[in-house]
Amino acid sequence: MSRVKRIVALGVIVVLAEAGIVVWNTPSEAWRDIPAKSDYTKYTMEERVDVARAFAKRRKMSEETAFFVDYSIESGTPRFYVVNLRTGEVEKKIHVMHGAGGQSTAEKPEFSNKLGSKCSSLGRFLVSRESGLTIKKSRRLVGLDVDNQTAQWRGLMIHAAGWVDKYKGRRYIPLNEHASSGCVTIAKREIDSILSIVDKSESPILLWTYN
């Protein structure tokens, strides 16, 4: 590599680092064959489970368990679902807040796939077994749809924040970009159980966020 190219490459890395963007070295296998189009169909829960099961099978992901997040529900109501893909049963419901970016309010999130947007993203993700660099109790997300494929570059994760525990009794959890800049941020009391599901699964877990 020439000296000029090295300087340019170093400059790009510095910009990304200053923006807080995490760049991963090795994308997951499930990154391949990205769907040509994201799926925004308004499914019933039963229909969504069927679609998720087929998607997971096609991608060699877990056909036992998936995570769903329904951002159309008020944040003060549990809207992160641990779903048994075999039976369709919702085995666990927990609180999750949305990102503080864009024109988001506590009542209504704005969604984005853009770097630095601090917004939540919609679509299907692979939940990896890698933790974040600064938040150890976390698992990084790999975007599998066209409209969330920057998830790795944005450093999106499932992680917890005491902010969720503090305000989950309200109708809406107030925005806080330090608690969620687009990550799937859940209650601290629930993080261990979610990470345990991810780590014990023989195949990667599917996370599907929708509105």
Task: Give the pLDDT mean for 180-205.
Answer: 97
Q: Give the pLDDT of residue 131.
A: 94
Pick from 97, 211, 196, 201: which is nearest to 148 by CA? 211
DSSP one-letter string for 62-123: -SSEEEEEETTS-TTS--EEEEETTT--EEEEE-EE----TT--SSS--B--STT---B--E
The CB density around residue 109, as the number of other CB atoms within 10 Å, is 25
Contact present, 138 and 8 (Cβ < 8 Å): no
- Residue 132 reports pLDDT greater than 80: yes
What band does 133 get if pLDDT is binned at 50, 70 and 90? Answer: confident
Q: From CA 115, how far away is CA 54, in angstroms rounded?
A: 30
Of 33-37, 40-44, 164-168, 186-190, least confident by mean pLDDT is 33-37
94 DSSP β-pair partners:
80
Q: Give the pLDDT of residue 121.
A: 97
- Residue 4 reports pLDDT greater than 70: no
Question: Which superfamily, per CATH, for 22-210?
Answer: L,D-transpeptidase catalytic domain-like (2.40.440.10)
- Residue 3 reports pLDDT greater than 90: no
- Residue 145 reports pLDDT greater than 70: yes
Residues of the chain above pLDDT 90, percent: 82
pLDDT in tens, 64-76: 999 999 999 999 9
The CB density around residue 19, as the number of other CB atoms within 10 Å, is 12
Pick from 51, 59, 123: which is nearest to 85 by CA? 51
Q: Give the pLDDT of residue 37.
A: 79
- Give me the residue spans of the domains in the chain: 22-210
pLDDT in tens, 78-121: 999 999 999 999 999 999 999 999 999 999 999 999 999 999 99
